[in-house]
Structure 1
Amino acid sequence: MPDRTAPPASAPSPASAPVPAAGGGPAVSAAAAGRDAEVRPLGVEFTPTGDPAVDAAIGLLEALDGVPTEGHLPVYEDVHQRLGETLAALDRS
């Protein structure tokens, strides 16, 4: 079972992250695709729920502030799994 207390791996830098090319061609870097390579923070804050497992899962989303969009999916999947496990534990209790 993966370590659920470890922070998510960092995402590749925007200039090196592969981005699908228009028309289904080979992937290119964000800089080569002409995208704005500057990553801006979202500034989203969350209110603690009082449940340590839920707060820890949601807290991982704060790590996405400043990470290029291409790096969000693994964190979203991890948070989704953690929240699902928390709900399943409630069903077992």
Structure 2
Amino acid sequence: MPDPAALPGTAPEAVPAPAAGSPAPAATAGRDAEARPLGVEFTPTGDPAVDAALGRLEALDGVPTEGHLPVYEDVHQRLGETLAALDRS
């Protein structure tokens, strides 16, 4: 599994911090092409496979929307495999 931070354009230092007093990302949607961090915090579930899959979503913070699909597909596949493994147990 590649490190989420190693994905192009997802390194934390590549994502500019929002300026103090700037509007929330939802308030500026569609106004410009600049990607802004969502600020959503990840809470571990305690299941290593689920946590690894959900951890991939952190790589999307600040990435333009068009770069999200491959990560969403990967997370969906991993969670599906985790559920299927529960059925086999």
Aligned partners of 1:60 and 1:10: how far apart in 2? 13
Q: With CA pairs under 8 Å and 6+ residues apart, which has the higher RCO, 1 or 2?
A: 2
TM-score (norm 2): 0.68
Which protein has the bigger strand share? Answer: 1
Aligned partners of 1:46 and 1:37: how far apart in 2? 25
TM-score (norm 1): 0.65
RMSD: 1.8
Work out which of the two has the higher radius of gyration on C-alpha atoms and give 1 or 2. Answer: 1
Structure 2: which 5+ runs fail to align? 10-29
Aligned partners of 1:77 and 1:37: how far apart in 2? 23
After the TM superposition, list the runs of 4 or more consecutive aligned residues in structure 1 that deviate by more than 3 angstroms: none
Structure 1 residues 7-26: aligned runs within 5 Å: 7=3, 9-10=7-8
Aligned residue type for 2:8: S
| Count of residues in correspondence between the two structures | 67
Which protein has the bigger helix share? Answer: 2
